[in-house]
Amino acid sequence: MTDSSNTMWGGRFAAGPDAIMEAINASIGFDRRLARQDIEGSRAHAAMLAAAGIVSSKDAEAIREGLLTVLSEIEAGVFPFSTALEDIHMNVEARLKEVIGDPAGRLHTARSRNDQVAVDFRLWVRDQCDAADGALAALMRALLAQAEAGADWVMPGFTHLQVAQPVTWGHHMMAYVEMFARDRGRFADARRRMNESPLGAAALAGTSFPIDRHMTAEALGFDRPCANSLDAVSDRDFALEFLSASSICAMHLSRLAEELVIWSTAQFRFVKMSDRWSTGSSIMPQKRNPDAAELIRAKIGRILGATVALFTVMKGLPLTYSKDMQEDKEQVFDAADSLMLALAAMTGMVGDMTANPDVLRAAAATGFSTATDLADWLVRALGLPFREAHHVTGRLVALAEGRGCDLPDLSLSDMQGVHPGIAQAVFAVLGVENSVRSRTSYGGTAPDQVRAQIARWKEALA
């Protein structure tokens, strides 16, 4: 017979309310990822306590050495994590006492779990900013290699996914270099702003012990201590900024992934994805599915979802710490994992993909892609106002469309029937190669401009 007192809790929590409270309160299931940062912060704190005369040098050294022992156990996968001890901080401290005895009890002098978790989490997010920066640099190098190989390859540029004007493959690749460079800037900017140490803010009001917060800040690689103890323990802007930068970066990855999905179709054939980043079909033997690109395209959902989730957690919290903040880490951990995986996969795909220059060039020559070049020639050669040149070009496009041909296929007499001033020289601007070579303005698609940008970025990434 089922115990009616436990029916409401379900089978998982047969022990009743106490089991549910332990489950909802414990964070060790996920915050164990902060172990290295927790021990790093504790070792810095112990050294400062000794320097300030708050604990003896002997006890501080025992604490610092004992923490290294605990860290080695965690890294070896033999550490006995306990849900009953709630979090990584209490798990480490309890094990430290087993390793070194009574001196372990002095470690928590002049600090609280509030400033402890704040410094651990900040250190972890700072590390993720550095990791994202390195991964983005690797992706940019892969794009630069593609750009350099195809600086002269002509392809269609699109607006509304309709053929607009010819561009070069190198120019298209370099557009993503610029995007991902901005992402690096956002992570670097967020890192600079988060690089203040909460350690020593204690529970919320600081401490009466004569601590040296500048010493611990320097030991942990921070620029300075946080200037307000209330803000120090309650701030999660650093996590929100990391998530925001990650969301924008994931959006850029999704845009590139979408292009790779489209370009690898039989209808486009712009690129061929390597077997390493494609899968087959369980029923259709001819299929080569760009699964890696599609999964990258989907990662924005998880990362942006994490961003919205943490904003929602934080939006109504009064100063200072509230247990709600325990819900900050899983979102950030998942987003960081998703971003790093997506960056690594995209770097691999870009490095391995093979463009098809002949198909790119043929596609660039369709859709009246040199119409703007024709309009520009009418302005330069005949002195027409651009709006009139635009109108004349539109009539010529309509004429070519009606005949089922492209602009270069019209005869000179056909063109002069629309505007008598058009001369044979117009045909020099209608080829797609001529079109891209003419776009010599700074940042334009002309191969020389593309190579200049490639050289600039190669030097910057060196």
Contact status, residue 165 vs residue 157, Cβ threshold 8 Å: yes
Give the separation between CA 285 and CA 328, rounded to whole angstroms. 45
Question: Is residue 45 annotated as a catalytic residue, yes or no?
Answer: no
Among residues 294, 245, 262, 298, the alpha carbon closest in space to that of 132 is found at 245
Distance CA 371, CA 246 (A): 39
Catalytic residue among 160, 282, 411, 441: 160
Q: What is the separation, in whole angstroms, between the first and last Cα of the chain?
A: 72
CB 221 within 8 A of CB 215: no
Within 10 Å of residue 58's Cβ, how many Cβ atoms?
10
Tokens of 127: 């590390």
- What SS3 class is residue 197? strand
| Nearest of 239, 209, 433 to residue 335 by alpha carbon | 239
How many angstroms separate the CA atoms of 306 and 252, rounded? 17
Other Cβ atoms within 10 Å of 75 Cβ, number: 11
SS3 154: strand
d(CA 63, CA 458): 47
Are the beta carbons of 329 and 313 closer than 8 angstroms? no
CA 167 to chain centre: 27
Find, among 180, 194, 195, the residue nearest to 339 by Cα.
180
Task: Give the residue among 146, 323, 153, 302 at the shortest CA–CA distance from 234.
Answer: 323
Strands (E), 28-161: 154-159
* Rounded CA separation 392/255 (Å): 36
Going from the C-alpha of 283 to that of each of 261, 278, 289, the distances in angstroms are 20, 15, 12
Q: The tokens 């860290």 sit on which residue?
A: 71
Active site residue 82: no
- Residue 443 corresponds to which amino acid? G
Sign of CA dihedral 351, 354, 357, 361: negative
Cβ(179)–Cβ(234) under 8 Å?
no
Cβ 451 vs Cβ 436: under 8 Å:
no
The torsion angle over the Cα atoms of residues 89, 117, 337 and 190, rounded to 10 degrees, is: -160
Question: Among 57, 72, 82, 281, which one carries the catalytic annotation?
Answer: 281
The residues carrying an active-site annotation are 160, 281
